[in-house]
Amino acid sequence: MKIFVDTANVDDIRTACSWGIVDGVTTNPSLVAREQRSFEEVVREICEICPGPVSAEVVSLEAEGMIQEARKVSSWAPNVAVKIPMIREGIKAISVLSQEGIKTNCTLCFSANQALLAAKVGATFISPFIGRLDDIGHDGMQLVGEIVQIYENYDFATEVIVASVRHPQHVLDAALIGADICTIPFAVLEEMFNHTLTDVGVERFLADWEKAGLKL
């Protein structure tokens, strides 16, 4: 499973990339707003740090506006994937952008039928928001399973990005279900490293090594 980092914070992206585990980055308007920097500057910088796909979202709600914005945002770097919301106008825009070879990430997906429509118009990525579904008492991971199944049934090339991840269990479930990608907030990525037995183990090995006076 590919790992994307779900943030617009360049320091966190740099740190995560230095671990060698990051295949791409996703942002959204809320994450970019948090950084209090120009959108273009942030996107260009992230694209330089990370060679993988970097999702940057349009804000227009009309297909024509989305297409114009997508052309602009995708001109900033070759690895930009333009995030487009899962609405009628968004699907219309993705259909045009796919033909132009512009990478798209269909976002705010909450049902398998929505994911089917996005694949039909050639979206590069589909982003089911699992945490937000869990928040309202639904089973977000069940949706991911349905999408993975449908895409397999018909050999759709659209890749599934499990988004709106809240904790490491979401990541594990995404991997078990066979999602292509999981986009992970930096704090959750950090949690994935941790296990008390690892810490105790490292401490014990070092103590034994030092007690025996060994050298490397």
Q: Are strands 104-109 and 80-85 parallel, antiparallel or unpaired?
A: parallel
Phi, psi of 171 (to 5 degrees): -65, -45
Question: Which of 8, 23, 28, 121 is close enough to bind ligand G3P by CB under 6 A?
Answer: 28
**Tokens 């992206």 map to which residue?**
13
Question: 116-155: which residues touch ligand G3P (CB under 6 A)?
Answer: 129, 131-132
**Tokens 């929505």 map to which residue?**
114
Q: How far is the CB of 213 from ligand G3P (least distance, A)?
A: 51
8 binds ligand G3P (CB under 6 A): no
164 binds ligand G3P (CB under 6 A): yes
Where does the chain have alpha helices with state H?
A: 10-18, 29-35, 39-49, 63-74, 88-99, 112-120, 130-135, 140-154, 168-177, 186-191, 196-211
For ligand G3P, how many residues bind (rule: CB under 6 A)? 9
| Catalytic residue flag (residue 120) | no
- Looking at beta carbons only, is 7 or 74 nearer to ligand G3P? 7
Question: Which of 47, 58, 81, 163 is close enough to bind ligand G3P by CB under 6 A?
Answer: 163
Q: Could you give the dihedral angle defined by the CA atoms of residues 35, 38, 44 and 50, in that order, rounded to the nearest 10 degrees?
A: 0
Q: How far is the CB of 105 from ligand G3P (least distance, A)?
A: 9
Looking at this protein, which amino acid is placed at residue 169?
A: Q
Q: How far is the CB of 92 from ligand G3P (least distance, A)?
A: 22
Q: Return residues touching ligand G3P (CB under 6 A).
A: 6, 26, 28, 129, 131-132, 163-164, 183
